[in-house]
Amino acid sequence: MLTCLRFLLHTNQAPAIPEALWRETLARYPFLARLSSDQQARLCRLAREFLAGKEFSGAQGLALSDEMAVAIAAQACLPLLHLGRAGLKLYDDFKGIVVHPGAMLARRERTDAAGVVHRYNEVLAGEAMAGGPVTLSWQDVADSGESAERGQNVVIHEFIHKIDMRDGAANGCPPLPSRAAHATWRAVMESAYEDFKSQVVMAERFGGPAPWLDAYGAQSPAEFFAVTAEAYFVNQTRFAQDFAALAALFDAFFKTGNSPQP
């Protein structure tokens, strides 16, 4: 169970994050440390509101700490930084965040085109369920400072899935205000997705250069959105080199514009 933050959550007020703990969190993750002072202050306010509305639990005997909760909250709120408190509504369909010590095994079942049922285990660093909790591997969360170089961040990945799910099933398209916005999003994302899948196939089957991003993004439009968005927020300079059109699309949706970026 959490200590001081857990106690404050029961007051239904946004918990005060100790200054020292907040500074330690920023220093631990370079993509947060590079934010401007104003952005860091706004992120802290969002993280406080986020913590007030969520319930953390440890799995497999993991003892949760304030440090863990704040690290997760800060990274989960990074995509909302320029959306303000209204952006938190994108996460209001659930309360639970389950933290495992490390990667977890999920039992899967798939029926192929011939009707044959395949049962298997999948190793996961995290998972987001529609209307349900987010599950995270603490080891992967703790390693997010180093994995940012590769454009990887398990917290942002799973919370992007949550954003994707807000208008229905996860399909690689977040809630958008109009048909025109949907059409623009689809056109840009589908083009980038097809190019990425081709690059993955060339690398895996024909020895071509491997893509910078995790090949898991080629699994589906939903995974491509999550994989590209996590890279956008933790290593935007590198991301924009390979995905200029997507960077512009994400600038518009997340309202980052020309603001200083991590």
- The DSSP result for 148-163, as a single string, is GGGT--HHHHHHHHHH
pLDDT digits (tens, 9 = 90+) for 93-113: 999 999 999 887 666 566 666
CA distances from 39 to 57, 112, 230 (A): 29, 48, 18
Matching residue, tokens 């992007």: 160
Residue 235 is classified by DSSP as: -
Sort 115 into a burial class: Cβ within 10 Å, 0-12 / 13-18 / 19+. exposed
pLDDT digits (tens, 9 = 90+) for 147-164: 999 999 999 999 999 999
Matching residue, tokens 């938190």: 88
pTM, to two decimals? 0.88
The closest of 103, 30, 32 to 62, measured between CA atoms, is 103
Query: Which helix (H) or strand (E) element contains residue 71?
Result: helix 66-77
pLDDT digits (tens, 9 = 90+) for 208-258: 999 999 999 999 999 999 999 999 999 999 999 999 999 999 999 999 864
Residue 105 is classified by DSSP as: E
Helices (H), 118-220: 138-142, 144-147, 154-165, 179-206
pLDDT for residue 12 is more than 60? no
Kindly list the domain boundaries of the chain, sorted by start residue: 4-253
Report the distance separating Cα 96 and Cα 134, nearest Å: 7
Give the architecture (CATH level 2) of 4-253.
Answer: Orthogonal Bundle (1.10)
